[in-house]
Structures are given as structure tokens and as C-alpha cells.
Amino acid sequence: MNSSDNKRILLAHGSGGRMTHDLVEQLFGKQLSNPILDRMDDAAVLEHNGRLAFTVDSHVVSPVFFPGGDIGRLSLTGTVNDLAMMGATPLYISAGFIIEEGFLMDNLSRIVASMRDAALEAGVTVVAGDTKVVERGAADGIFITTSGIGSIPEGVRISCSAAKPGDVVIVSGTVGDHGAAILSKRQGINFDIQLESDCAPLGGLVEDMLSASENIHVLRDPTRGGVAAVLNEIATSSVVDIEIEDDRIPYRSNVRAACELLGLDPLLLANEGKLVAFVDADEAGLVLDAMRRHRLGGDAAVIGRVDAVETSRPRVCVRTVLGSRRILAPPTGEQLPRIC
């Protein structure tokens, strides 16, 4: 990176990978530092007559309508999922709309209807909203920022920094669906079976998992930067090594085909209806059974395990079918902008 790159915001700063991490840590984290923000989990945990989870997500996905969803559904489920990843029961959502002058009223109506349907599905209520309109050319169609409040049940302590050696790594289903759907829609690529975003609210699945075991240590939804970004964040926060096995990761065959065709690593693609869980090995079977009984966890699988750190730097490895191991680095640049 040359010096002029340091002076301006690049697309890669929004990738969910290393540059996002550095920007958040060095600029936002330093200036706004406080014990709650500093935990850098998916949602803040507030002590207020019991524990509340509080989170925010801006959505700038392009195109606004894509196979399997739209920016309305995405913005609702994205925030619901961030709350669920703290083990919280998602309750209330606020939504700030930034709309470009000239945007079709019918499309806005479709988007809001889609938020409503997703809210019903997720069991949350949209209780506050704001609308701003900017001149033609000052935004790209519509951006939606949602914030959410959830209630964390007594006893639940889930955090990105709670993974322990001996934990197994579970993924709730096929990996890379959302990223592949956006990419194929944007590039106009057609496959025999259409690629569809997995965009879905995960609160119910998490509730079932928490009922099955009290030893779920980490939950994360692998959105921007995909499974690779999330596993690396967990390894760093928990100071552990993580090893996953390539042939255990569930993929849709058309997602795998699309990635091979386009030279993409599906572990870097965004998911919007999947989670990664780190669970005490003794209870992995119970959790996996509960997940598979849920409509959004039918393809749940154990994909790896946690080890004590071998070197000074926590790392994530992938063991291939042939038995070799490669480091799974977090994404450094921007593989696919405007993914969510």
C-alpha cells in the first residue's frame, strides 16, 4: 500500500477483512473507546435491568432486488442475526432510510413490505423509523440502516472471545449462497439451477440451540468476508488456533461451480442466513441434533475444531482432502463490494 492509499477510504475498508478491522480498531475504536464498544462483538451488551443486546448495520447492497431477497429483507434479518449471535432474543428494530430522489415508489413499497414479512418471520417489531431523501446522484437508489434491541436470557454468555481448545466448529448450512447469488445477478451469469441468497432470520435456530446446550461458547454469522473473516476474528479474540476440514464444509453444487468458474474462494463469500457455532465437544451432538430439526439448520455440520495456540499468532488452517494444510487468511482486499 502506498502512502496516498492511507489517506483515503478504499472499497477494501468496507470488505469485512483486514482493512475493515484495522479501520475500526485504529480510527473508530481509538476515538470512541469504552468498555462496551471495545469488546467488538456482533452486538453491544448493556446492563439495564437485565442484559440487553444492541446493534447496528448499514445496508448498501447492489442490486437492491436479488434472487432470494431484497434490501428490505436483508436489512431486517441482518440486524436480527447480529442480536441472535449474542444469544439474545431479538425484539425491537429501528430503520433509517436514505433514498435517492427519483427512486420508484413501487420499489420502496415492495422493500418495506419485504421488511414487514421478515419482521413477522423473525418475531420482531419495527418501532422507529426515519426517512431522508438526497438529490439524484447523491446516493445509489436506497440505503437502509437498521438498529436492534434484544433481551439476553439469564445465564447466556456468548462472545467472540469465548472459544476454547477442544471446542468443535459447527456451520448451520451451505456456505457462500448469498455472495454467489449477488455476484451472479450482478454479472448476469446463469446457471442451470438459479443461485439464491440464504437471507433469513436466525433467532429461532439460536433459541433451539441454546435450549439444547449451555455450553455454546461463540456464535457468529459469516456475512462480509465470509467464514474466513469470522474464523480469523474468533481465533484472534479467543487466542486459539482453529482447524477446519475442507471436505466437511457443506456447499450447494451450483455455488461451488460458480466459484470454480469465477476463481473465487467460497469461504470468502458472504452468507446472510448461516451461523458458525463453537461448542464444547461433549455437547456438539446435542446441538447438532437441535439444529438439524430446525428448518434453517438441516445441513448443519461439524467442520473443524479448536486447538491451543501453537505460535505467538493465532491462526486458522484448512486441511484439504489430500491431507495437506493451508492457512486460511482473512480477506485483505475487496472481493465483492456492496454485498450487504
Stretch that binds a copy of itself, among 44-52, 187-195, 228-236, 258-266 (CB under 8 A): 44-52
113 is a site residue for a copy of itself (CB under 8 A): yes
Nearer residue to a copy of itself within complex by CB, 2 or 49: 49
Strand order through the sheet with 51-59 = 44-47, 51-59, 142-152, 89-100, 125-134
Binding residue for a copy of itself, selected from 18, 65, 67, 92, defined by CB under 8 A = 92
Which residues 6+ apart lie within 8 Å of 201 measured at CB? 76, 77, 80, 81, 84, 90, 118, 121, 122, 124, 273
Q: How far is the CB of 187 from a copy of itself (least distance, A)?
A: 16
Asked if 66 touches a copy of itself (CB under 8 A), the answer is no
Q: Which is nearer to a copy of itself, 16 or 273 (CB)?
A: 16
CB of 211 to a copy of itself, least distance (A): 22
- Residue 7 interacting with a copy of itself (CB under 8 A): yes
Can you tell me the distance from the alpha carbon of 165 to that of 216, in angstroms, rounded to the nearest whole number?
A: 13
Q: Which of 128, 189, 262, 308 binds a copy of itself (CB under 8 A)?
A: 128
Contact 70, 107 (CB under 8 A): no
* Segment lying near a copy of itself (by CB under 8 A), choices 50-58, 154-162, 236-244, 274-282: 50-58
Q: How many residues does the chain have?
A: 340
Run of H or E including 134: strand 125-134
Longest distance between any two alpha carbons in the chain, whole Å? 57
Q: Return the residue of 2, 3, 34, 190 that touches a copy of itself, per CB under 8 A.
A: 34
Q: Which is nearer to a copy of itself, 112 or 286 (CB)?
A: 112
C-alpha atoms less than 13 angstroms from C-alpha of 86 in its C-beta half-sphere? 27
Phi/psi-derived region of residue 49, left when phi > 0, alpha when psi is between -120 and 50, beta in every other case:
left
Selected range binding a copy of itself among 36-44, 171-179, 274-282, 306-314, rule: CB under 8 A: 36-44
d(CA 105, CA 186): 23
Q: Where does this chain touch a copy of itself (CB under 8 A) — which range of 46-54, 152-160, 191-199, 275-283?
A: 46-54
Q: Where are the alpha helices (DSSP H) in 224-340?
A: 226-238, 253-262, 284-293
Told to check if 140 binds a copy of itself by CB under 8 A, we report yes
Give least dist CB 277 to a copy of itself, A: 22
Residues 147-206 that bind a copy of itself (CB under 8 A): 147, 149, 151
- In whole angstroms, what separates CA 261 from the centre of its chain? 24
Nearer to a copy of itself, 55 or 335 (CB): 55
Q: Is 60 in the site for a copy of itself (CB under 8 A)?
A: yes
